[in-house]
């Protein structure tokens, strides 16, 4: 069966399977949700070492071929991991579960955001060990004022500790992708700081980082001034220097700014037009 590009199919070569599964560090009582089992390279190695694997595969042909390749404690679900009802899927499983996946790179960001939501601060998903494009992995662990630091780092680091576990060359997969890959672990936990309204925080962070090299003042203006708030005043109250660049803001500082917007303008932040 040929690899389907539209599903981001790059299958892990056998020489790398043990290294990746060891890095996942499975335990006999663990229940895993595996994203995109493909031909079952990871699934077949993971299954015997854990309580159960629930594997969600979008490709009907691959999903149909999988039962013959994996142990009986693997439950296969044919579907899109961005659409499946995770509540229903995990209803009878002991939580928190763990997640593993060699992700389709074309949809890795939406999958990451879905996991951040679904993790429920580690109560429903304890951790996720994910194969990503190395560039995306670097963005997840980036520190303020470094290349790659941005909205993704802030949103992920707010609710997870992230470690890079392995770097894999293109030849670790077939067909080989054009990029280098990296395996990362996200350990979900309660948010490191309060951000007020979570959706407004996301809009603020994304909006600021669209203008990451402008001054904070100029980056904030289009986000708050249409609803009658002064960006200068908001920054003053949040204790942030207007001449700084958004790319230098730590998670805590971004949260401070979000709280200021959320709590000092409660009426406006109920239905914020641009924030």
Please, which residue, 20 or 195, has the CB nearer to ligand SAM?
A: 20
- β-partners of residue 182 are 132, 167
Please, which residue, 166 or 210, has the CB nearer to ligand SAM?
A: 166
Q: Tokens for 200?
A: 């407004």
The reply to whether 134 sits near ligand SAM by the rule CB under 6 A is no
12 touches 173 (CB < 8 A): yes
Q: Tokens for 263?
A: 């709590």
Complete DSSP assignment for 194-234: --SSHHHHHHHHHHHHHTTTS-HHHHHHHHHGGGT--HHHH
Please, which residue, 10 or 211, has the CB nearer to ligand SAM?
A: 10
Which residues contact residue 187 at a Cβ distance below 8 angstroms, ignoring those fewer than 6 apart?
Answer: 122, 126, 127, 160, 161, 162, 163
Residues 190-209 interacting with ligand SAM (rule: CB under 6 A): none
Q: Which of 53, 81, 119, 125 binds ligand SAM (CB under 6 A)?
A: 81
Question: Total binding residues for ligand SAM by CB under 6 A?
Answer: 24
Residue nearest to ligand SAM (CB): 36
- β-partners of residue 130 are 101, 184
Least separation in angstroms between residue 246's CB and ligand SAM is: 31
Q: Which of 30, 57, 138, 247 binds ligand SAM (CB under 6 A)?
A: 57
Cα-Cα-Cα-Cα torsion 162, 166, 169, 174, nearest 10 degrees, comes to -90
Please, which residue, 41 or 261, has the CB nearer to ligand SAM?
A: 41
Region near ligand SAM per CB under 6 A, out of 33-41, 134-142, 154-162, 193-201: 33-41
Q: Tokens for 129?
A: 């060990």
b/e map 115-139, b = 16+ CB within 10 Å: bbebbeebebbbbbbbbbbbebbbb
The reply to whether 96 sits near ligand SAM by the rule CB under 6 A is no
Per-residue mark of binding to ligand SAM, 2-31 (x: CB under 6 A): -----xxxxxx-------------------
The reply to whether 56 sits near ligand SAM by the rule CB under 6 A is yes
Please, which residue, 131 or 153, has the CB nearer to ligand SAM?
A: 131
Least separation in angstroms between residue 94's CB and ligand SAM is: 23
179 touches 134 (CB < 8 A): yes
Q: Which of 64, 82, 145, 176 binds ligand SAM (CB under 6 A)?
A: 82
253 touches 199 (CB < 8 A): no
- Site residues, ligand SAM (CB under 6 A): 7-12, 35-39, 41-42, 56-59, 62, 80-82, 102, 104, 107
């Amino acid at each position: 069966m040929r690899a389907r590009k539209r599903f981001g199919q790059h299958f892990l070569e056998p020489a790398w399977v043990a290294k990746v599964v060891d890095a996942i560090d499975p335990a006999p009582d663990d229940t895993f949700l595996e994203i995109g089992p493909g031909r079952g390279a990871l699934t077949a190695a993971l299954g015997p070492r854990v309580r159960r694997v629930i594997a969600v595969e979008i490709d009907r042909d691959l999903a149909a071929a999988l039962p013959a390749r994996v142990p009986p404690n693997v439950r296969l679900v044919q579907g899109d991991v961005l659409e499946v009802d995770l509540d229903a899927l995990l209803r009878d499983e002991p939580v928190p579960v763990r997640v593993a996946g060699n992700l389709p790179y074309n949809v890795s960001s939406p999958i990451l955001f879905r996991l951040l939501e679904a993790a429920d601060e580690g109560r429903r998903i304890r951790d996720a060990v994910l194969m990503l494009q190395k560039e995306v992995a670097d963005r997840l662990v980036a520190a303020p004022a470094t290349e790659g630091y941005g909205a993704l780092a802030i949103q992920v680091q707010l609710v997870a500790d992230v470690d890079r576990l392995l770097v894999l060359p293109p030849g670790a997969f077939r067909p080989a992708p054009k990029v280098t890959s990296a395996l990362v672990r996200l350990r979900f936990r309660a948010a490191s700081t309060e951000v007020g309204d979570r959706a407004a925080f996301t809009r603020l962070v994304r909006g600021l980082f669209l203008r990451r090299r402008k001054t904070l003042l100029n980056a904030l203006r289009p986000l708050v001034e249409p609803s009658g708030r002064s960006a200068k005043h908001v920054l003053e109250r949040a204790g942030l220097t207007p001449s700084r660049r958004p790319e230098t803001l730590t998670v805590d500082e971004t949260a401070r700014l979000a709280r200021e917007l959320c709590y000092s303008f409660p009426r406006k932040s109920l239905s914020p037009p641009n924030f």
